[in-house]
Structures are given as C-alpha cells and as structure tokens.
Structure 1
C-alpha cells in the first residue's frame, strides 16, 4: 500500500545522482538538531553525528528495511544530561543513564512482542505525555534566556543583537519559507546568525587552528570510564517520554506513506531498533537517538520513502563525524546564535506538549486530569528533588514523569482515555 510514494520504501532512486541528492537533503534536515544537542550539552559533536548514522543503520537492519526513518539526537534528555554532568563533573553517569534508556526500549520491545502494546497506551495516555513534553521545553527556557544575554540584568548589546537577528531569521523562514527552506529553518538560521556574529566580532576563530581536515571524534567507549549507576533512576522515566514520541512519529509516517508500521514490521521491531541505537550511542559517548520528525517531513514533501535514501544519509552522517573543520565550525558558533534559535526551539517543544492535549481533547475541566497536569508542571518546573542516595536524586522531568504515571493509575486505572 505505497501508492502515496513516488519512490517506494524498498526501491532505489532512478540514478546515483538523484540518490545522493535525496540523501543529502535528509542530512541537511537532521543536521541542525542533531548537532545542536551536543553543542548545548557539551557532548562531542563528531560522536553525535557518528551515533546518528550508526543508529539509523541499526534501525534499518532491525526493521528489515521496511520503515524510512532517520534517527538523530534526542532533545528529551538535554536537561538531564547537563544537570547530571554538572553535578558529577563528567559525562560518565549520563552515558550510563542513556545506555539504560536503550535497554528499557529493548525490554519494552520484548514485552510487546509477547504481550501486545495496549498496556503501553494505558500507562502513557496523553494527559501524562503532554505535560512531560511541556516540561522538557520549558525546563530549558532559562538556558535560552541566558544565551541571549537577558538573564539577571547582564545585558550585552552585541549578544542581544546577534540573538535577535538569529531569532528573526528562524521565525521568518519557518513562517514564510517555501519548499526546502521551510524544512531546515534552524540550520539556515545558524548561518545567518553566524554571519551576524562575525560582523559583531564575537566569533572566536582560534579554534580552527587546533583542528585538521580529518579528525577522529572524541569517543568515550563503555568500559574506559567509571561506571556510575546513580543516574539510572533519573534517566529511566524519560524513556517512556521518547517511547511515546516514537509511537507518534511512526503513526504520522504511516499516514504519509500509506503503511501501518505499528503492524508491519511491528512496534516491537521499531522500538528494538531505536533502543539498540540509543544503547550503542551511549556506549560510544553520544546522545540518545530518536526518530526525527524533520526527516519525516522530508518524506512527506518529496514523496520519496526509500530506505536506501535514509541509509545513504546515515553513511554521510558518519563520514561528517570525522571532518575536523565541520566540527570546528559548529564549536565556534557563539551562544548568542544558539540562544536566538532556542528561544523558538524550546518553545516549540513545549507547544508540542500542548498540542498533544488538544489533539486528544483532554478534558481539563475534569478535576482528575487537572490535578495530574498541574502537579506534573509544578514538580517538573519548580525544582523539586527527591534524594534517593547521597549521589542520586529524582529531579525535574524524571520526578514529574513518575508522579504523573502514578497519579493517572490512581485516578484512571488502566483507562487510556481519561
């Protein structure tokens, strides 16, 4: 049932040139968001690109080439990665936490394989998922405000000007852009903001002196650093946020292509691919992987759903991870530029959480639903902490997720529609 596509899921483009161009388009679509995560968290940019490419190839293998999905860096874990790394002084705990997230995906995939997926829909209804996504976005709002030079009265005219130019660029392209421009507004806004930053003299070019054309990413291989399990309880609840995102992305892609991917190849196989990809990403020092709506958008616009195209895009991403000057350029982007983009980006993430509630028509006049949503928002955004051990705690998004799931089960039992 692939009549909605001009190039089918398991078909190759008609020529090598078309194949390369279509794959590069997917690279452009995922590039901005994929490198933005390590740029904000401090993880290695080259490793993130390699992890993205490897993850996509792993996913293609696990799903037997039946789903044209691209996997990139997940935004859902940024706050937790940053907080955990700041508290511990290294990324060791964060990487272990991300690997555990991958294992949770794998376990859930195995349960679904033998018990079906209805239980998952009941455990994570929209009244719980919506606030989770809102907290992910708004939890990062302070970082964006700081980056644009408007935090604590520390106003800097040059920083604010560059941030404003970047903000205007990304907003204009997202609202008024056509075709390819509308697909990659964040990526193009980086270049606009970067040019502005150069003109205002706030770009540090010294970093280019320290790199070479070919440069091996700074992999942090599992087993070469301290294994600290303190972060497991912090990261584990977030796995269910991205699992819900995973399901939603596959439903949307199915509508675009005319396929039911939840049935074939099956949610167990798609989750398995996503889980192993995140496990591998954490094992080499990269951020968690997740299905990318940006690339789903490319499929929707081009009507090209070929896994050969997404597969070649994954190979390109791996190769880009070894290009030193590309990494240096990304690392040289001033925080003012990042801030101008993230004012929009973080707000969009939060707004998507609101859209989940609206699309489900969640009744906030129902006091049970109102208590679930309001409690999660206050705990997630208010800095609530439950100290579990001297070095581990449930905080922010993780605590809100646990409390939201418990409250929903108490109020609504296993009813997927509150």
Structure 2
C-alpha cells in the first residue's frame, strides 16, 4: 500500500493531536512491527470503521444505482458541501435509512426488508413514501363525479387475511385530491416499532376509497411501483433512528501515529491538504492554531459506496502554548495555572499546556449499505472547529 493511502487511513488518529508523548516501545511494536503492509492496512481500516460504527465495509457499488432524491435533498439540507453539519437540530436522531419495496406486486401490498437496522438503534419516526401517478385522460368521466379519495395505510397482521378487519391494523389515513400527482407521505412508526423481528414484519397494505366508502379501482388511482416505473418514484420506507453513539471512539492504547512516520517520509501534498511529518514534540514559536487536514475517501478506498461527501477537511491543532497564555490561545483556567507552574518550575514533570481542539463539529455521510439501501448518518466530533491551549 502506498504511503499516501497509509496517511489517509491514519487521519482519525491524528486530528486529536496535541502534546502527547511518544508511546512506549512495546506499544509501538504491538501495532507497527507487522512486516506485511496488507496487515497494517487491514488493522488501520478496522480502526477506521470502528469510528464510523460500521462492522464491515459495504461492497463497492461504484454508484451504479442512483440514490433517492429525497435522501440527496435531506443530505443537502443538513450538511454543507464538505458534509459538515449546518445545524445539529435539523436531523431527528443521527441516522436516516431508506428502503425500497421488495415485492414489486401489482396489488398495494408493500414489504420492506429492515434487517440492516441494528438492535441498539432507537426508532424515532418511520414514513411510507408513495408517488401518486397523474390520472389517465381516459378516466375523466370518473373525475367529474369524484374530486377526493381516501388513502389508508394498514399494518398487515396476517397476510392471508389482510382483506379482513382481523388481518390488518390502521396506521394512517387522509383525503387526497384525485387530480393530484406527486409524493404522499404517511406515518407508519407504530408498525415499524412492532416489527421487533423479521417474522412479525408482514408488510403494509394501502387502500383507496371514494368518499362514499367504495374501493377505487387501482387502474384509476395509481401509485408508482418498483416493477413498472423509474427507480426515482419507487415506494420507499424512510426510517429515522438514533444509535446512541456520541463522541469519538477512545484512542487510549493506540500509538502516536504522527510520531511513527519517518522524518523524510515522501509525500506530495494535494491542494489545501496538510503534509504530515514526524512530530519532534517542539513547535518553536509557532502559536497554537488550526491547520488543514483533508480526508479523501477515494484514497482510503471508500469512494465506491460513499455518495457524499467525496472528502472533507478534518483539520488538526498544532503549535506551542508558551507562558504567558494570552486570551487568543483560548486557555482554560487549568491550562493557565499549569502554564504558570511549568514556567516557575514549581513542580517536576509538569509540561506546558497542550494545543488541542476546543470545539468539534459533526459530519454527515450519505452512503449505500450492503443491501443497496441509502443511509444518511451523522458522526459527532469529526472536525476540529477551533484550537486552544488546554
């Protein structure tokens, strides 16, 4: 594996860099004495996947499928071009998953495979998205007599009895103009929460009736299906969850990645990216400040399944925290006291304060999972927003 890719794999272990000392030789040997570069890459990727809460990387799809426009629009609403969260309160929970109907039947019975939802995810909201087709001109006689229809969504309790009252449970119902076309969204949270195992998931049933209560022919009121229409209009279940993950994975026990790189490590920096060299532990008179650290998912080998962003600037903090600490160093009271003790040599073994991130931002990833579902996930503490002496 190239040095360039190794640097890319190590980025998450460097963004929290400060004035940490070089780890013990035994720790370095435990992680880096592997002679096979493939094993080093495998270990680095494993640690990187842990940060993103993914057990195994999805297969590279190379974006053969187009993601649902709803998911793309949602991503653009909550994140900027680099994936950084615009407003942490815009997204309910930290994960949004989209699922396509797996039955593709002519009837209004829809089944969604939710096996990729992990057991620890708290289900917040679930929605059924149906695209109502534009009425055919041949049905104009019907439209002159009826202007609204009632669309109802049921949880199927028994697929063999779903036409009877005992075989289904009403979830959502509303009146919709017959002449309208476009997306209709129904809340189905109650059903998804009840699907605590795959056997209890028998799908959803949609019925359409006129105001007199008579069932409307499916040829008159039509919804786009996965079998007969473009994938951009397929029936879709959108699930908002929270997996309870907050903050970054602990780096305790990991070696100082920056210190492990050789002094003359060859690397040609790309535009707006920081060249990473061996840290000597001394930053001279350069004050504590934020520096660019671009993360390129293509270099890491993840571009085949990540839709957006293609990369982002994680930034890292570097520089000295000399006595006396000015307010521009954004010091804590503890750092100020530590700086004084260090300057006056009042206690042995007390170093000067560290230059570390004092504000961290979250990023969002839009990606395909192994079942070709599209997932929008928010990760906390991934971008150094500012640096200070702590």
TM-score range, shorter chain: under 0.3
* Higher strand proportion: 2
TM-score norm. by structure 1 comes to: 0.22
Higher relative contact order, chain-length normalized (CA < 8 Å, sep 6+): 1
TM-score norm. by structure 2 comes to: 0.23
Q: Which has the larger radius of gyration?
A: 2
